[in-house]
C-alpha cells in the first residue's frame, strides 16, 4: 500500500529565454484526491503539466509521479499517468468505439474491443459507439477523450482545463465524470481558471500566480484566510447560466429564484 503522495514537486523552475514562467513551484498531491491548480492565463499551469507528463524539461527542481522521478525515469512516469489536454484529442473520422480500440491496440492490451465496450458503457456513450466523432457534442467528445485516457488504468490523471469551450450542460457532464473517477481511487490533478470548477470538484486547491504557488489548502482553509464576513442582505438574481439550465430542464426554476446572500467589505488577511 502506497503511503507517499501521488505527486511531489519541489522548487520547480522553467524559463523561456528571458521570461521566467515557473519560479520555484512546490506542490504535493495526495493519492486518490482531486487537486485543483488554479490560476489565470499565463500563470504557468500548462507548463507545470507538460513538465509532469515528460513533454517538457524543467530548468531546476524535482518532480516525482507515483514514486518515479520525472527527469531520470520518464518511461516509468509515462506508464503511471494519462493526460487530457485543453482540446479533445480524438479522431473525428473514426467512431467512438474505433477511437478507443485504437488506443488499446497502441498500448498492446488484450481484447481491445471489450475494453472499448466497457468504457463506452461506463461513460454513457454506448448509443453513440458507432457514430463518427465528428457528430458528437462537445460534452460527448470530452467524455470520450477522458475514456481514452483511462485505457491501461493509470493511477494518475492530468486534466488541463478540461471544460474549456464547453457549454454549461457539457461542463456539468464532465464534472460528474471527474467525481466518479476520483471515487474509484484515481488521483486527479486538474488545472482550471474557473473558480466554480475548483470549488465544485477539488479536495484541495493550490493557487498559482506568476509562476509560484501563493496559497494552498482545502476550500475551508482558504476561506479561513479571510476575516468573518460583514453580513448584508442583497437580492441575488439568477445568472444566465442558471436560467439556461432551468429552461432546458436540468434544474428547477424554483431553485434559482432570488435569494438573500451575504457580502463582505473586508479584505483578505495575509497568508
- In percent, the amount of the chain with pLDDT more than 70 equals 87
Task: List pLDDT tens digits, range 65-100.
Answer: 999 999 999 999 999 999 988 777 899 999 999 999
Q: Which residues contact 270 (CB under 8 A, 6 or more apart)?
A: none
Q: CA 5, CA 2: separation in Å to the nearest integer?
A: 8
Q: For 122-165, what is each residue's pLDDT tens digit?
A: 888 999 999 999 999 888 898 899 899 889 889 999 998 888 87
> CA–CA separation, 23 vs 210, rounded Å?
8
- Which distant-in-sequence residues (6+ apart) come within 8 Å of 113 by Cβ? 101
Confidence check: pLDDT of 171 > 90? no
Q: Residues of CATH 3.40.50.300 domain(s) within the chain?
A: 7-223
Please write the tens of the pLDDT for every residue from 202-224.
999 999 999 999 999 998 888 88
Specify the pLDDT at position 222: 86
Q: Give the residue from 88, 86, 168, 92 showing the smallest Cα distance to 135.
A: 92
CATH 3.60.21.10 describes domain 7-223: no
Amino acid at each position: 500500500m502506497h503511503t507517499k503522495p501521488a505527486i511531489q514537486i519541489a522548487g520547480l523552475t522553467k524559463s523561456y529565454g528571458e521570461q521566467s514562467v515557473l519560479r520555484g513551484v512546490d506542490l504535493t498531491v495526495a493519492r486518490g484526491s482531486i487537486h485543483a491548480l488554479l490560476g489565470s492565463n499565463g500563470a504557468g499551469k500548462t507548463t507545470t503539466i507538460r513538465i509532469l507528463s515528460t513533454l517538457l524539461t524543467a530548468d531546476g527542481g524535482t518532480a516525482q509521479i507515483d514514486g518515479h522521478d520525472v527527469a531520470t525515469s520518464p518511461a516509468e512516469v509515462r506508464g503511471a499517468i494519462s493526460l487530457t489536454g485543453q482540446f479533445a484529442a480524438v479522431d473525428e473520422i473514426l467512431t467512438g468505439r474505433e477511437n478507443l480500440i485504437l488506443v488499446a491496440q497502441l498500448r498492446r492490451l488484450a481484447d481491445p474491443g471489450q475494453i472499448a465496450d466497457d468504457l463506452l458503457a461506463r461513460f454513457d456513450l454506448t448509443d453513440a459507439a458507432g457514430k463518427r466523432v465528428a457528430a458528437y457534442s462537445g460534452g460527448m467528445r470530452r467524455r470520450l477523450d477522458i475514456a481514452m485516457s483511462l485505457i491501461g488504468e493509470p493511477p494518475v490523471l492530468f486534466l488541463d482545463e478540461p471544460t474549456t469551450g464547453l457549454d454549461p450542460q457539457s461542463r456539468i457532464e464532465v464534472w460528474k465524470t471527474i467525481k466518479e473517477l476520483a471515487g474509484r481511487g484515481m488521483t486527479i490533478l486538474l488545472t482550471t481558471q474557473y473558480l466554480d470548477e475548483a470549488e465544485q470538484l477539488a479536495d484541495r486547491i493550490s493557487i498559482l500566480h506568476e509562476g509560484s504557488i501563493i496559497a494552498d489548502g482545502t476550500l475551508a482553509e482558504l476561506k479561513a484566510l479571510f476575516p468573518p464576513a460583514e453580513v448584508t442582505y442583497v437580492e441575488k438574481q439568477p445568472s444566465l447560466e442558471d436560467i439556461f439550465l432551468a429552461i432546458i430542464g436540468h434544474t428547477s426554476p424554483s431553485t434559482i429564484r432570488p435569494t438573500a446572500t451575504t457580502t463582505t467589505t473586508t479584505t483578505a488577511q495575509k497568508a
